[in-house]
Amino acid sequence: MSTPMKRIGIDVGGTNTDAALLDGSKVLAAVKTFTTADVTSGVRTALKELVAKAGPAAEGVTAVMIGTTHYTNAVVERRNLGRAAAIRVSLPASASLKPFCDWPADLAAQVVGGVHLVHGGHEYDGRELVPMDEAEVAAAARAIRAAGVNAVAISATFSPLTAACEERAAEIVRNEHPDCHVTLSSALGRIGLLERENVALMNASLIDLARETTQAFVDAVAASGLNARLYITQNDGTVALAEAAREYPVFSFASGPTNSMRGAALLAGIENAMVCDVGGTTADIGCLVNGFPREANNVVEVGGVRTLFRMPDLLSIAVGGGTIIGSDPITVGPRSVGYRLGQEALVFGGSTVTSTDIAVASGLIDLGDRSKVAHLDPAFVKAALAKIHETVAESVDRMKTDATEVPLLAVGGGAMLIPDRIPGISEVVHVEHSNVANAVGAAIAQISGETDRIYRDVERDEAIAMARAEAVESAARAGADPATIKVIDVEDLPLSYLPGKAIRTRVRVVGEAAALAPEAAE
């Protein structure tokens, strides 16, 4: 028989840092602490409190899974970003829209470390546009080195079809500039040159922060005394080993809401439902399909930059425990007190009216000092709560894809703000440990592999089989136990505009981490 594995999940949100200890699917202990300005000390505190609370139950923990908003916040708040250079292999095509052309001016001012267009790339059918000019690539690498820029993103036309140009350009850059970190767009994005290039550039700008943050997490786990491997959660509800995740920080952008959705599915025992995760700063609404969040197939903006890569289909609204409530007229957000909730909310002795104060005054939750909100006009409290409920209901309806009534899983520390009845929702399910669903979701995360590419001159079944094999190999390289890997999503689209038989095939697989697989514990 297999023995359940003990794991700790940690999720760092804008307001709270949550931690949960799981034995298999059973929650043994959980804690909620305030996020700190430097993030890392908050993780240390959460780990310390969780281990103390769990006592002997914390013995035998084999893995710590951490989800963080650190990288998203860096882009949104325009801080801790490094300079990144762009090399695009595309001339004579695509010269009119250069790298960074659609970035917000304030973000581009921090990140742009040079733009270099060189000859090469491929056509939509896999043929060479023109042979790649290796001398131009080498000259670009020397210019980047001379400018003191140590991160570069390389993109090429139709590189998801064939990455030969990007891979060869990377070799040349590393030869000319050995200290440079290279990000290939083909490893991150999908068809769509600008969006794929944007993701690569964003990744390159976050590399120094990712390495620093990952090392801080490693140190925090070591300081806890746990003999456990560290994993970082990803956008699709899976994890990657810390040493792999630090090379691709963009894959952790939306890991927080994704963790909450995965945790909600486990805690409620429901794999197909809508989920509303109300945190301290925002509420994130998504759809669970077979226990995993539905993926976005359209352009996703991050910090004002258009991207198209592996991201969950989410709607974030300004409704959270720290959301500031205005009185004349009544407004809900968009500003929030964030991690300062414990100092600024009325019930904690502050002077700002927040959603938490409205919830306490309405009798939805007993938190802080209720006498601090006794002076609020009951009519104002009722109207503010009604506006919160209306905002949530409208947003849930926007995320539904049909009129079928489905359950809604209410999770997060602010789940009490979700109305009990919502049009189009069969029931609102409040689950045990819902306030730390994000940490629970992090703890149960698996390792994934994905393939999204175009296959030519093959039948549909053969293309899917080839894509599946590549996805399985990708998951195994990332640390998944091959014996546990299973397919969770298959999409195929015939491409009639390409000569011959062409089909775009996307396959996602997941598996248990090799060191944590049930077989390892037998």
CATH of the domain at 150: 3.40.50
The residue from 156, 181, 206 where one domain ends is 206
Residues 418 and 452 in one domain: no
> Is the residue at 244 inside a domain?
no
pLDDT on residue 75 = 83
Task: Write b or e for each residue in 83-117: b if 16 or more Cβ atoms lie within 10 A of its Cβ, otherwise e.
Answer: bbbbbbbbbebbeeeebbeebeeebbebbbbbebb
Whether 158 and 182 share a structural domain: yes
Of 223, 220, 215, 206, which is closest to residue 242 (Cα–Cα)?
215
pTM metric for this prediction: 0.76
Contact (Cβ atoms closer than 8 angstroms) between residue 200 and residue 188: yes
Shared domain for 357 and 456, answered yes or no, is no
pLDDT, average across residues 472-478:
83
Rounded Cα–Cα distance for residues 438 and 203 (Å): 24
How many domains, the chain?
A: 3
Confidence of residue 334 (pLDDT cuts 50, 70, 90): confident
Residue 150 domain-assigned (yes or no): yes
Range of the domain at 481: 445-521
Is 74 among the domain residues? no
d(CA 147, CA 158): 29
Whole-number average pLDDT of the chain: 86
Pairing of the two strands 181-184 and 229-233: unpaired
Q: What percent of the chain has pLDDT over 90?
A: 37
368, 369, 374, 376: CA torsion to nearest 10: -40
Residues 91 and 191 in one domain: yes
pLDDT higher than threshold 90 for residue 328: no
Across residues 158-177, what is the average pLDDT? 92
Tell whether 413 and 494 lie within a shared domain.
no
Do residues 335 and 451 share a domain? no
Find where tokens 């947003």 sit: 395
Q: Based on the domain organization, do 404 and 453 belong to the same domain?
A: no
**Is there a domain that residue 291 lies in?**
no
Residues 344 and 426 in one domain: yes
- Structure tokens, 437: 């669903």
Q: Which of the listed residues 386, 411, 440 is the one where a domain comes to its end?
A: 440
Element (DSSP H or E) covering residue 146: helix 134-146
Q: Which residue has the tokens 């409290």?
A: 381
Nearest to 89 by CA among 137, 160, 45: 137
Residue 33: φ, ψ to 5° = -125, 165
Predicted confidence at residue 154, as pLDDT, reads 97
pLDDT at 516: 46
449 within a domain of the structure (yes/no) = yes
Is 497 found in the same domain as 383?
Answer: no
The torsion angles phi and psi of 352, rounded to 5 degrees, stand at: -105, 130
Reported as a pLDDT band with limits 50, 70 and 90, residue 500 is low
Q: If pLDDT is split at 50, 70 and 90, which confidence band does 1 have?
A: very low
Q: For residue range 258-308, list pLDDT tens digits in order.
A: 888 889 998 899 989 999 988 877 888 999 988 888 887 777 777 788 887
What is the chain's length? Answer: 522
Do 106 and 185 reside in the same domain of the chain?
Answer: yes
- Residue 457 in any domain: the answer is yes
Position 497 confidence tier, pLDDT thresholds 50, 70, 90: low
Longest dimension (CA), the chain: 74
**What would the two tokens of residue 267 be?**
């805690």
Mean pLDDT, residues 363-381 taken together: 92
Q: Which of 440, 461, 483 is the last residue of a domain?
A: 440
In terms of domains, do 454 and 517 share one? yes
pLDDT at 10 over 70: yes
pLDDT at 514: 66
Measured between alpha carbons, how far is residue 151 from residues 104, 212, 279 in Å? 20, 15, 34
Task: Look at residue 16 in the predicted model and tell me its pLDDT.
Answer: 79
pLDDT at 168: 96
pLDDT digits (tens, 9 = 90+) for 21-54: 998 888 999 998 888 877 778 888 999 999 999 8
CA 13 to chain CA centroid, Å, is 12
